[in-house]
Protein backbone atom coordinates (compact mmCIF):
# COMPACT_ATOMS: atom_id res chain seq x y z
CA UNK A 1 0.00 0.00 0.00
CA UNK A 2 2.83 2.41 0.91
CA UNK A 3 4.62 1.57 -2.33
CA UNK A 4 1.42 2.24 -4.31
CA UNK A 5 0.95 5.60 -2.58
CA UNK A 6 4.52 6.61 -3.37
CA UNK A 7 4.03 5.66 -7.01
CA UNK A 8 0.87 7.75 -7.22
CA UNK A 9 2.65 10.75 -5.73
CA UNK A 10 5.47 10.47 -8.25
CA UNK A 11 2.98 10.25 -11.10
CA UNK A 12 1.22 13.46 -10.07
CA UNK A 13 4.14 15.81 -9.38
CA UNK A 14 7.37 16.39 -11.33
CA UNK A 15 10.30 14.42 -9.97
CA UNK A 16 12.47 17.57 -10.07
CA UNK A 17 10.48 19.19 -7.25
CA UNK A 18 12.58 17.96 -4.37
CA UNK A 19 13.28 19.85 -1.12
CA UNK A 20 15.33 23.00 -1.65
CA UNK A 21 15.19 26.15 -3.80
CA UNK A 22 13.55 26.37 -7.20
CA UNK A 23 12.97 29.16 -9.73
CA UNK A 24 9.70 29.38 -11.63
CA UNK A 25 7.60 31.60 -13.86
CA UNK A 26 3.94 31.97 -14.72
CA UNK A 27 1.95 33.82 -17.38
CA UNK A 28 -0.22 36.57 -15.91
CA UNK A 29 -1.84 39.68 -17.37
CA UNK A 30 0.00 39.13 -20.65
CA UNK A 31 3.46 38.85 -19.12
CA UNK A 32 5.81 36.18 -17.84
CA UNK A 33 6.29 36.69 -14.10
CA UNK A 34 8.96 35.06 -11.95
CA UNK A 35 8.98 33.64 -8.44
CA UNK A 36 11.30 31.75 -6.09
CA UNK A 37 10.13 28.59 -4.33
CA UNK A 38 11.59 26.90 -1.25
CA UNK A 39 10.43 23.40 -0.35
CA UNK A 40 11.24 22.27 3.22
CA UNK A 41 13.06 19.06 4.05
CA UNK A 42 9.76 17.45 5.07
CA UNK A 43 8.28 17.91 1.58
CA UNK A 44 7.64 14.57 -0.13
CA UNK A 45 5.07 15.47 -2.77
CA UNK A 46 2.34 13.43 -1.04
CA UNK A 47 1.33 15.34 2.09
CA UNK A 48 -0.11 18.81 1.31
CA UNK A 49 1.84 21.56 3.07
CA UNK A 50 0.80 25.14 3.91
CA UNK A 51 2.28 28.01 1.89
CA UNK A 52 3.64 31.42 2.86
CA UNK A 53 3.83 34.01 0.08
CA UNK A 54 6.52 36.59 0.96
CA UNK A 55 6.49 39.92 -0.93
CA UNK A 56 9.58 42.14 -1.16
CA UNK A 57 9.59 45.90 -0.73
CA UNK A 58 9.87 48.67 -3.31
CA UNK A 59 13.20 48.91 -5.16
CA UNK A 60 14.10 45.37 -4.07
CA UNK A 61 13.56 41.85 -5.40
CA UNK A 62 12.59 38.33 -4.36
CA UNK A 63 16.15 37.01 -4.05
CA UNK A 64 17.18 39.87 -1.77
CA UNK A 65 14.17 39.43 0.51
CA UNK A 66 14.72 35.67 0.77
CA UNK A 67 18.33 36.24 1.83
CA UNK A 68 17.75 39.12 4.26
CA UNK A 69 14.74 37.99 6.31
CA UNK A 70 15.81 34.33 6.59
CA UNK A 71 12.20 33.14 6.63
CA UNK A 72 12.95 29.73 5.11
CA UNK A 73 14.55 28.39 8.30
CA UNK A 74 11.56 29.12 10.55
CA UNK A 75 9.05 28.19 7.87
CA UNK A 76 10.73 24.84 7.29
CA UNK A 77 10.77 24.14 11.03
CA UNK A 78 6.99 24.55 11.11
CA UNK A 79 6.40 22.68 7.83
CA UNK A 80 5.66 25.60 5.48
CA UNK A 81 6.50 26.02 1.82
CA UNK A 82 7.78 29.54 1.10
CA UNK A 83 7.24 31.40 -2.16
CA UNK A 84 8.77 34.75 -3.10
CA UNK A 85 6.90 36.48 -5.96
CA UNK A 86 8.91 38.92 -8.09
CA UNK A 87 7.56 42.42 -8.63
CA UNK A 88 8.00 44.47 -11.79
CA UNK A 89 10.36 47.34 -12.53
CA UNK A 90 13.80 48.20 -13.87
CA UNK A 91 16.55 45.62 -13.39
CA UNK A 92 16.76 44.40 -9.80
CA UNK A 93 14.70 47.34 -8.46
CA UNK A 94 11.14 46.08 -8.45
CA UNK A 95 7.85 46.60 -6.64
CA UNK A 96 4.18 45.69 -6.52
CA UNK A 97 1.01 47.54 -7.53
CA UNK A 98 -0.35 47.55 -3.99
CA UNK A 99 -2.83 50.44 -4.09
CA UNK A 100 -0.75 52.96 -2.15
CA UNK A 101 0.87 55.03 -4.90
CA UNK A 102 -0.76 58.06 -6.53
CA UNK A 103 1.77 58.23 -9.37
CA UNK A 104 0.35 57.93 -12.90
CA UNK A 105 2.94 55.38 -13.99
CA UNK A 106 1.42 52.91 -11.51
CA UNK A 107 -1.60 52.60 -13.80
CA UNK A 108 0.60 51.04 -16.50
CA UNK A 109 1.94 48.30 -14.22
CA UNK A 110 0.63 44.72 -14.55
CA UNK A 111 -2.18 43.61 -12.25
CA UNK A 112 -0.42 41.89 -9.35
CA UNK A 113 -3.66 40.36 -8.02
CA UNK A 114 -3.98 38.45 -11.30
CA UNK A 115 -0.33 37.47 -10.96
CA UNK A 116 -0.86 36.02 -7.47
CA UNK A 117 -4.01 34.19 -8.57
CA UNK A 118 -2.13 32.68 -11.53
CA UNK A 119 0.78 31.78 -9.26
CA UNK A 120 -1.48 29.97 -6.80
CA UNK A 121 -3.18 28.16 -9.69
CA UNK A 122 0.22 26.92 -10.89
CA UNK A 123 1.33 25.88 -7.40
CA UNK A 124 -1.86 23.85 -7.01
CA UNK A 125 -1.00 22.01 -10.25
CA UNK A 126 2.70 21.45 -9.67
CA UNK A 127 3.33 21.38 -5.91
CA UNK A 128 1.51 19.46 -3.19
CA UNK A 129 0.06 22.42 -1.27
CA UNK A 130 -2.85 22.83 1.13
CA UNK A 131 -5.05 25.40 -0.60
CA UNK A 132 -6.95 26.09 2.62
CA UNK A 133 -3.72 27.21 4.31
CA UNK A 134 -2.18 29.86 2.09
CA UNK A 135 -0.76 32.93 3.88
CA UNK A 136 0.97 36.16 2.93
CA UNK A 137 3.65 38.30 4.49
CA UNK A 138 5.81 41.09 3.15
CA UNK A 139 7.90 44.14 3.95
CA UNK A 140 6.97 47.76 3.19
CA UNK A 141 5.45 47.77 -0.32
CA UNK A 142 5.21 43.99 0.10
CA UNK A 143 3.22 44.48 3.31
CA UNK A 144 0.86 46.77 1.41
CA UNK A 145 0.51 44.02 -1.20
CA UNK A 146 -0.60 41.65 1.58
CA UNK A 147 -3.38 44.06 2.47
CA UNK A 148 -4.43 44.45 -1.16
CA UNK A 149 -4.71 40.66 -1.50
CA UNK A 150 -6.65 40.44 1.78
CA UNK A 151 -9.20 42.85 0.32
CA UNK A 152 -9.29 41.57 -3.28
CA UNK A 153 -8.94 37.79 -2.85
CA UNK A 154 -9.82 36.80 0.74
CA UNK A 155 -11.21 33.51 -0.58
CA UNK A 156 -7.63 32.30 -1.21
CA UNK A 157 -5.80 33.58 1.87
CA UNK A 158 -6.29 32.30 5.43
CA UNK A 159 -4.26 35.06 7.14
CA UNK A 160 -1.66 37.76 6.51
CA UNK A 161 1.33 39.10 8.47
CA UNK A 162 2.41 42.50 7.05
CA UNK A 163 5.64 44.10 8.28
CA UNK A 164 6.05 47.90 8.15
CA UNK A 165 3.33 48.72 5.66
CA UNK A 166 -0.35 49.71 5.78
CA UNK A 167 -3.53 49.41 3.75
CA UNK A 168 -3.32 51.60 0.64
CA UNK A 169 -6.07 54.13 0.00
CA UNK A 170 -6.29 53.56 -3.79
CA UNK A 171 -8.69 50.63 -3.49
CA UNK A 172 -11.56 49.07 -1.59
CA UNK A 173 -11.91 48.55 2.14
CA UNK A 174 -12.05 45.04 3.66
CA UNK A 175 -15.48 43.43 3.51
CA UNK A 176 -14.64 39.85 4.52
CA UNK A 177 -13.03 38.62 7.74
CA UNK A 178 -9.37 37.67 7.59
CA UNK A 179 -6.87 37.26 10.41
CA UNK A 180 -4.03 39.77 10.52
CA UNK A 181 -0.71 39.93 12.41
CA UNK A 182 0.81 43.37 11.78
CA UNK A 183 4.34 44.42 12.82
CA UNK A 184 5.25 48.12 12.81
CA UNK A 185 7.81 50.40 14.46
CA UNK A 186 6.72 53.67 16.03
CA UNK A 187 9.86 55.38 14.66
CA UNK A 188 9.41 54.20 11.08
CA UNK A 189 10.47 57.14 8.88
CA UNK A 190 9.77 55.38 5.58
CA UNK A 191 6.11 54.48 6.15
CA UNK A 192 5.28 56.21 9.45
CA UNK A 193 3.08 54.47 12.01
CA UNK A 194 0.51 57.29 12.04
CA UNK A 195 0.20 57.65 8.29
CA UNK A 196 2.00 59.39 5.44
CA UNK A 197 3.50 62.77 6.03
CA UNK A 198 3.27 65.68 3.63
CA UNK A 199 6.85 64.98 2.52
CA UNK A 200 7.76 61.38 3.21
CA UNK A 201 10.56 59.28 1.79
CA UNK A 202 8.07 57.47 -0.47
CA UNK A 203 5.07 59.07 -2.25
CA UNK A 204 2.59 56.60 -0.77
CA UNK A 205 -0.94 57.08 0.52
CA UNK A 206 -2.12 54.60 3.11
CA UNK A 207 -4.23 54.44 6.23
CA UNK A 208 -2.47 54.98 9.57
CA UNK A 209 -1.68 51.70 11.28
CA UNK A 210 -4.33 52.12 14.05
CA UNK A 211 -6.99 52.82 11.40
CA UNK A 212 -5.88 49.82 9.32
CA UNK A 213 -6.18 47.57 12.37
CA UNK A 214 -9.60 49.01 13.20
CA UNK A 215 -10.91 48.39 9.67
CA UNK A 216 -9.83 44.75 9.68
CA UNK A 217 -11.08 44.19 13.24
CA UNK A 218 -14.49 45.50 12.19
CA UNK A 219 -14.47 43.27 9.09
CA UNK A 220 -13.63 40.31 11.34
CA UNK A 221 -16.68 41.03 13.50
CA UNK A 222 -14.71 41.82 16.66
CA UNK A 223 -17.07 43.27 19.28
CA UNK A 224 -14.76 43.47 22.28
CA UNK A 225 -12.01 45.82 23.41
CA UNK A 226 -8.53 44.60 22.49
CA UNK A 227 -6.31 42.73 24.90
CA UNK A 228 -3.06 44.60 25.59
CA UNK A 229 0.21 42.86 26.48
CA UNK A 230 3.48 44.68 27.12
CA UNK A 231 6.37 42.26 26.73
CA UNK A 232 9.25 42.37 29.22
CA UNK A 233 12.46 43.77 27.80
CA UNK A 234 15.02 41.03 27.20
CA UNK A 235 17.43 42.83 24.86
CA UNK A 236 19.21 46.14 25.27
CA UNK A 237 18.45 47.43 21.77
CA UNK A 238 16.41 50.57 22.46
CA UNK A 239 13.05 49.02 21.60
CA UNK A 240 10.11 47.56 23.47
CA UNK A 241 7.09 45.61 22.26
CA UNK A 242 3.38 46.05 22.93
CA UNK A 243 0.88 43.56 21.47
CA UNK A 244 -2.74 44.56 20.88
CA UNK A 245 -5.07 41.64 20.11
CA UNK A 246 -8.58 41.96 18.68
CA UNK A 247 -10.24 38.54 18.90
CA UNK A 248 -13.59 37.33 17.61
CA UNK A 249 -14.37 34.72 20.27
CA UNK A 250 -17.07 33.08 18.13
CA UNK A 251 -15.07 32.56 14.92
CA UNK A 252 -11.49 32.64 16.19
CA UNK A 253 -10.54 35.45 13.79
CA UNK A 254 -7.67 37.58 15.13
CA UNK A 255 -6.43 41.04 14.22
CA UNK A 256 -3.17 41.63 16.09
CA UNK A 257 -0.95 44.70 16.14
CA UNK A 258 2.65 44.19 17.28
CA UNK A 259 3.78 47.74 18.04
CA UNK A 260 7.56 48.08 18.27
CA UNK A 261 8.20 51.18 20.35
CA UNK A 262 11.38 52.84 19.10
CA UNK A 263 11.60 50.52 16.10
CA UNK A 264 12.21 51.63 12.54
CA UNK A 265 11.36 50.27 9.11
CA UNK A 266 12.71 46.83 9.90
CA UNK A 267 11.94 43.11 10.07
CA UNK A 268 11.94 42.05 13.76
CA UNK A 269 15.00 39.94 14.70
CA UNK A 270 16.26 40.09 11.10
CA UNK A 271 17.13 43.77 10.54
CA UNK A 272 18.09 45.02 7.11
CA UNK A 273 21.65 46.46 6.94
CA UNK A 274 20.65 49.99 5.92
CA UNK A 275 21.04 52.70 8.57
CA UNK A 276 18.35 54.97 7.13
CA UNK A 277 15.74 52.29 7.92
CA UNK A 278 16.15 52.89 11.63
CA UNK A 279 16.50 50.63 14.62
CA UNK A 280 15.62 46.94 14.44
CA UNK A 281 14.31 44.97 17.40
CA UNK A 282 15.64 41.71 18.77
CA UNK A 283 12.91 41.49 21.42
CA UNK A 284 10.80 39.26 19.17
CA UNK A 285 11.28 37.10 16.08
CA UNK A 286 8.71 37.97 13.43
CA UNK A 287 9.35 34.70 11.57
CA UNK A 288 8.50 32.46 14.51
CA UNK A 289 5.55 34.63 15.54
CA UNK A 290 3.94 34.61 12.11
CA UNK A 291 4.46 30.87 11.61
CA UNK A 292 2.75 30.14 14.93
CA UNK A 293 -0.01 32.63 14.06
CA UNK A 294 -0.61 31.09 10.64
CA UNK A 295 -0.92 27.61 12.10
CA UNK A 296 -3.99 28.78 14.04
CA UNK A 297 -5.90 29.82 10.93
CA UNK A 298 -7.34 28.02 7.92
CA UNK A 299 -9.97 28.75 5.27
CA UNK A 300 -11.68 25.47 6.27
CA UNK A 301 -12.38 26.71 9.82
242-287 pLDDT tens trace? 999 999 999 999 999 999 999 999 999 999 999 999 999 999 999 9
Give tens-digit pLDDT for 189-198: 999 999 987 5
Is the pTM higher than 0.85? The answer reads yes
pLDDT for residue 49 is more than 70: yes
Query: Looking at residues 124-129, what average pLDDT do you find?
Result: 97
SS3 for the chain is: CHHHHHHHHHHHCCCCCCCEEEEEEEEECCEEEEEEEEECCCCCCCCCEEEEEEECCCCECHHHHHHHHCHHHHHHHHCCEEEEECCEEECCEEECCCCCECCHHHHHCCCHHHHHHHHHHHHHHHCCEEEEEEEEEEECHHHHHHHHHHHHCCCCCCEEEEECCCCECCCCCCCCCCEEEEEEECCCCCCCCCCCCCCCCCCECECCHHHHHHHHHHHCCCCCCCEEEECCCCCCCCCEEEEEEEECCCCCCEEEEEEEECCCCCCCCCCCCCHHHCCCCCCCCHHHHHHHHHHCCCCCC
Amino acid sequence: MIALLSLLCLSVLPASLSPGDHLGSVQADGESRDYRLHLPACYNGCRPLPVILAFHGMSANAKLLQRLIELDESASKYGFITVYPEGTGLGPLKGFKAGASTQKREERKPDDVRFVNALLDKLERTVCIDSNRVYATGLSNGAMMCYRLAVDMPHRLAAIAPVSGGLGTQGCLPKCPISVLHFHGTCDDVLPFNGPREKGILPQTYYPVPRTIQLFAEAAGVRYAPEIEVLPNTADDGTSVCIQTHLNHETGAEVVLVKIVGGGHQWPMHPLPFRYLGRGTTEIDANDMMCQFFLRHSLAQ
